[in-house]
Amino acid sequence: MELVFATHNKNKLEEIKFLFPHYIKLLSLDDIGCDEEIPETADTIEGNAILKAEHVRNRYGYDCFADDTGLEVEALNGEPGVFSARYAGDDKNDAANVRKLLSQLEDKENRNAQFKTAIALNLNERQNLFTGICKGEIIKEQRGDKGFGYDPIFKPENFKKTFAEMSLSEKSKISHRSIAFRELIAYLSK
């Protein structure tokens, strides 16, 4: 089986290839000649995943799946949420996003947060949605040099390490993305 994963993000692609069974060949947007940035204009994480999957199916004709992920912080009423990648501006700068979030939380005691991933799968003229959530908290300083995005300041519940301090193998056992992708893989394995 061949599926397109609607992403240009090489870090994300590497995480997913680590989780996926070897009998499913994963192609990225680059592999199918899609060099455009697919608009993410929905007001929910699920809506953005659906938009991207529909774009690939309608424009390129491939069976595909697309995901969207957001960090939702309780004290900020769910922000940055759907705007997680662009929280500090349209250039999607991880360091600037982290700085902005830490400054927004400076005077807040409640640092509870959750990562949420939604995956839209378009396969055989049907669409399915899979969701994964990882609860945790935003710590006050950055720790670790692995991962990407908000990983250096997100500490999952019941763990002492941030995502950025975990190996890919450790993170893949508990992350929001891996939870959603395990659901997707279970569905594809039926």
As annotated, the active-site residues are 68
| DSSP state string for 127-172 | EEEEEEEEEEEE-SS---SSS-TTGGGEEETT-SS-GGGS-HHHHH
Burial 67-80 (b: 16+ CB within 10 A, else e): bbbbbbbebbeebb
In the chain, which ranges are continuous DSSP H helix?
10-19, 45-60, 94-104, 168-174, 176-188
